[in-house]
Amino acid sequence: MARKMEAPKKGQVGGQYKPLTEAEVGRIHEASLEVLERTGVQVDHPEALALFEEAGADVRASRVRLPRSLVEDAIDAAPSKVVLAGRDAEHDLILEDARVHIGTGGAALQILDLETGKIRKALLRDVADMARIVDALENIHFYLIPIYPTDLHEDQVEISKYYASLANTTKHVQAGVYTLQGIRDVVTMCEQIAGSPEALRARPLVSFITSWMVSPLMFATDVTTLLMEVCRQGMPVILSAAPMAGSTSPVTLAGTLVQLNAEQLSGLTLTQLASPGTPVVLGPIPATADMRSGKYLGGSVELGISNAAITQLAHLYKIPIYNSAGMTDAKLPDIQAGMEKAQSAIQVALAGTNFIHHAAGMLEDMSTIAYEQFVIDNEMLGMAMRAVRGIDVDDDTLALDAIDRVGPGGHYLADEHTLRYMRTEHYYPSDVFDRQGRDEWEADGATDAWLRAKNRARKILAEHEAEPLDPKVDGWIREQFADTLRL
């Protein structure tokens, strides 16, 4: 009997691709510790400075130099496993070892409109609609809110975007944060959805990105305040930093890895001083700049190599890692977008990154989101996860009995072994990616993948609804946050 065809499973174990040797990983680690001891980091946040000084760091004015022992204590204190839960437990993400999960990302301000094909501002309704798109796509494992809704006042953004997301997907929701009150409001809301404060900490439905580092080697004071608040709330926090080789980090990839790894270790140390045991996800995103213009490059092959390489450092520390793949410099869902997205997604997934964001929906160096691009990327990510799964080798898959049954000159089309494995051994994309013969393709309208993806996105928006929030909880949220929540 044929096995049921399923999407490639999230959480499959990567680590097959290692751009650095073990010795090179060690050298980068040692160089990072030397940067922290010799050069240090600039910290202008009074409370953070006090924590570093009390722990034994060398603090002179705003320069903090971290001894090796302090950094090593922080590595030991940070959890090796972080759970990022969905409203539906089927979508829980277990971030540990080299288990791979891939999804959305960004804070884009503009949309490539699905109907007009023109650029427009990102709105709160897009947050909800994109959540429904992601909820329906099987190879996108989480919903990192990919846009900043430009139609909201700052004090409305956090509660409104998290609510719009949680109400429209049962997958894990993550985003950047901007205000202390916003963090507190989102946590209060999610405690109600989870059932209690304890239930939320056990299965966090949301997590928070803090871009606390201004590369090179400088803590952003306002964001450091937000980082410490997330730690004290006991919620998962992502230490996001994205220096560009040749601009805000050394032009050599090795030099960028050293600086960025040092930055990550300094942030990790602060989180464990602020609240020992804080569930931290390292967020190093080594990027490149175009040396001709200084422009950020999302689609460079070096981005894929570097993000794969820094994953090896996180594996050395046994701390979960979030970084980037699946980006492009293309302005449209064209052949450039496909090539640039696929090469980095394959590299970083095979490296075993735990939480790969920016991998679905993005165009134009993270500045633009397209609904149809989610659909196209869903297929690309299914292929990437199939590559992570690799080749199963056991007595049955070696197929010796099947080879003997079929014999010389036969065929395997009707053999029981073929029927048993044909739906699970190979990845089958949806009809967005065409595999028909030319005659069938022409009879079906001779459409390209872009148009087919648009049509599928329209169908999802017309028909798909996520499991709703409990009506009593939903009512409580609307009443509690009536002054700031926008629907």
The secondary structure element, H or E, covering residue 186 is: helix 180-194
Cα–Cα nearest to 459, from 147, 132, 172, 138: 132
Give residue 219's pLDDT: 98
Given pLDDT bands bounded at 50, 70 and 90, which one contains residue 137?
very high
At 98 the three-state DSSP class reads coil
Given pLDDT bands bounded at 50, 70 and 90, which one contains residue 3?
very low
Q: Is residue 329 part of a domain?
A: yes
DSSP string across 237-266:
EEEEE--EETTTB-SSHHHHHHHHHHHHHH
Q: Is residue 245 part of a domain?
A: yes
Average pLDDT score over residue span 182-197 = 98
Average pLDDT score over residue span 382-389 = 96
At 238 the three-state DSSP class reads strand
Question: Which amino acid is present at 277?
Answer: G
The 10s digit of each residue's pLDDT in 98-136 is 999 999 999 999 999 999 999 999 999 999 999 999 999
List C-alpha distances in Å: 313 to 30, 150, 219, 246, 450. 11, 37, 21, 21, 38
Instruction: Tell me the whole-structure pTM to 2 decimals.
Output: 0.96
Q: Is residue 127 part of a domain?
A: yes
The alpha carbon of 444 is separated from its chain's Cα centroid by a whole number of angstroms, namely 36
Query: Whole-angstrom distance between the N-terminal and C-terminal Cα of the chain?
Result: 49
Given pLDDT bands bounded at 50, 70 and 90, which one contains residue 6?
low
- Of the candidate ranges 84-93, 146-155, 244-253, 290-299, the one whose mean pLDDT is the lowest: 290-299
List C-alpha distances in Å: 80 to 17, 155, 442. 21, 34, 52
Average pLDDT score over residue span 406-414 = 96
Q: Is residue 86 part of a domain?
A: yes
Is pLDDT above 50 for 2? no
Question: Which amino acid is present at 325?
Answer: A
The 10s digit of each residue's pLDDT in 331-384 is 999 999 999 999 999 999 999 999 999 999 999 988 999 999 999 999 999 999
What angle do the packed helices 124-136 and 449-463 form, to 10 degrees? 100
Average pLDDT score over residue span 44-73 = 98
Write the CATH number for 248: 3.20.20.480
Q: Is residue 287 part of a domain?
A: yes
| Count of domains for the chain | 1
Q: What is the mean pLDDT of the chain?
A: 96
List C-alpha distances in Å: 415 to 273, 402, 419. 62, 7, 7
Domain that holds residue 108: 12-18+76-389
Contacts of 475 (CB under 8 A, 6+ apart): none
Given pLDDT bands bounded at 50, 70 and 90, which one contains residue 431?
confident
Average pLDDT score over residue span 209-232 = 98
Is pLDDT above 90 for 9? no
The secondary structure element, H or E, covering residue 41 is: strand 41-42
Helices (H), 298-448: 301-317, 335-351, 371-389, 400-406, 416-421, 438-443
